[in-house]
Amino acid sequence: MVFENTQKQLEKAKKHVELVQETEETLKYPTEAFTFSIPVRMDDGSLKVFEGHRVRYNDARGPTKGGIRYHPGVNLDEVKALAFWMSIKCAVINIPYGGGKGGITVDPHKLSKAELEKLSRGWMRKAYRIVGPDRDIPAPDVYTNGQIMAWMMDEYSIIKGEYSPGVITGKPLSLGGSLGRSYATALGGYYCVKEAVKKMEVGKTVVVQGFGNAGSHMARLLSEDGFKVIAVSDSKGGALLEEGFDYDKLMEVKTKERRVDSYPGCKKISNEEILELECDILVLAALENVVTEKNAGNIKGKMIVELANGPVNPEADDILHKNSKFLIPDILANSGGVCVSYFEWVQNKQGYYWKEDEVNAKLLEKMVKEFNATFDIHKEKSIDMRTAAYVLALGRIDEATKDKAIY
Ligand code: GLU
């Protein structure tokens, strides 16, 4: 169960930071967890009911914030874990939000566009009671995108009777989206890598596990910067090419064939093998719990970048740390996404929109500052980067909890 992982990470970090009892107690439970059914009239005329969730975890620092995931594996335990991580993540990157998450248990690839729209509007027709521009602000996550955000924002605006772009982020530009949001998760991770290589010797070969939004943009950014992407994977399998992939060609193959291992001349490898390849930087950009105590000892990448949420479990963390791997944890490495979501929300509130390089410059400033704050704690206290990021975040959550002290 992945929620258990969050509590193990928290326990580990608590040894290095002093928290008031109120913070410790509230971080054990979500403030609200809502599970509901979404009836959808399918194209064949039948009615199908899907299960939806929205969890608001900790709201000490502001409205809760976090994406909505569409995946067959979605369940309340996972959504709770992801909402917990969002609470920590927003505090690491120091934006005025708590953490939330939502999801639907569904394989969206099996739905027609009309069914997907009904499902997405149906989610909002239930979740509008818990979300809101100053209460809880969703965004995209695994297998959701700008189109889905647009439908949901529209549905919320219809229910409320007023145009409400600030209720959700990751929207298309035409509906109040922000320039730079679509690739922000990867750009934030890339900025972390750039800071990290100033501090240590790391070579240029890269493996990217997971070729969705975050993973594909990361492969692009690193390739453009002279790194060599030698392996990539998606849910259908992995592809290895020692001389390095040509990014544009790879994207073309992925778009056309819907799988990366159709790349001409590559060696097909399994989703397990890709993790254990010899490389300098291993980017984990798929789902949680892919590196566990079973394979952590075989990981050869020197630097590990968690663009996904929760890809390394607590037992694997200890093994990687012992093996001197430098891991940039999810709550820092992928925080660029929610950071630019915050910028989008600010722009929605002002009704005034920024240029792309302004957005990216603001993101860079945030990432550099919080990467270094985390790195300093990691060095000072001789703890791994994840625990250091927790220490940073927990201090901030604790301060807000103390200042409110309403209990
Ligand atoms: N789903 C993304 C994450 O896990 C983005 C959340 C957001 O932008 O609110 O961080």
Is the pLDDT reported for residue 338 higher than 70? yes
Ligand 1 pocket, residue 336 CB under 6 Å: no
State the DSSP code for 140.
Answer: B
Domains and CATH numbers, the chain: 28-172 (3.40.50.10860), 184-333 (3.40.50.720)
Mean predicted confidence (pLDDT) in 86-101:
98
How far does the centroid of ligand 1 lie from the alpha carbon of residue 342, in Å? 10
Mean predicted confidence (pLDDT) in 310-317:
97
Mean predicted confidence (pLDDT) in 157-183:
98
Residue 264: per-residue pLDDT? 97
How far does the centroid of ligand 1 lie from the alpha carbon of residue 101, in Å? 8
- Ligand 1: which of 55, 57, 141, 359 to mutate, judged by most atoms within 8 Å of the beta carbon? 141
Mean predicted confidence (pLDDT) in 97-117:
98
Q: How far is CA 344 from CA 251, 307, 322, in A?
A: 27, 20, 40
Is the pLDDT reported for residue 159 higher than 70? yes
DSSP helix/strand/coil, 243: coil
Residue 59: per-residue pLDDT? 97
Ligand 1 pocket, residue 139 CB under 6 Å: yes
Distance CA 61, CA 70 (A): 27
Tens of pLDDT, residues 253-288 = 999 999 999 999 999 999 999 999 999 999 999 999
Residue that the structure tokens 């996404």 belong to: 337
Residue 407: per-residue pLDDT? 60
**Angle formed at CA 198 by CA 196 and CA 202, multiple of 5 degrees:** 70
- Picking from 105, 102, 95, the residue whose alpha carbon sits closest to that of residue 129 is 102
Residue 1: per-residue pLDDT? 87
**Angle formed at CA 233 by CA 70 and CA 303, multiple of 5 degrees:** 105
What residues form DSSP beta bridges with 136? 64, 132
Annotated catalytic residue 294: no
How far does the centroid of ligand 1 lie from the alpha carbon of residue 243, in Å? 33
Is the pLDDT reported for residue 128 higher than 70? yes
Residue 177: per-residue pLDDT? 98
Distance CA 48, CA 46 (A): 6
Residue 387: per-residue pLDDT? 98
Catalytic residue among 101, 228, 254, 325: 101
Ligand 1 pocket, residue 334 CB under 6 Å: yes
Is the pLDDT reported for residue 138 higher than 70? yes
Distance CA 188, CA 363 (A): 7
**Structure-block tokens of residue 363:** 């993101």
Is the pLDDT reported for residue 143 higher than 90? yes
Q: How far is CA 16 from CA 22, 26, 272, 316, 382, in A?
A: 17, 18, 34, 20, 10
State the DSSP code for 312.
Answer: B
Is the pLDDT reported for residue 405 higher than 80? no
Mean predicted confidence (pLDDT) in 77-88:
98
Ligand 1 pocket, residue 168 CB under 6 Å: no
Tens of pLDDT, residues 345-377 = 999 999 999 999 999 999 999 999 999 999 999
- Ligand 1: which of 192, 338, 342 to mutate, judged by most atoms within 8 Å of the beta carbon? 338
Ligand 1 pocket, residue 9 CB under 6 Å: no
Mean predicted confidence (pLDDT) in 312-341:
98
- Picking from 257, 235, 226, 231, the residue whose alpha carbon sits closest to that of residue 245 is 231
Instruction: Give, for 146, the enclosing helix (H) or strand (E).
Output: helix 146-160
To 10 degrees, the CA torsion angle through 260, 314, 392, 397?
100
Is the pLDDT reported for residue 201 higher than 70? yes
The mean predicted confidence, pLDDT, of the chain is: 97
% of residues, the chain, pLDDT over 70 = 100
Is the pLDDT reported for residue 290 higher than 90? yes
- State whether the Cα torsion 272-273-274-278 is positive or negative: positive
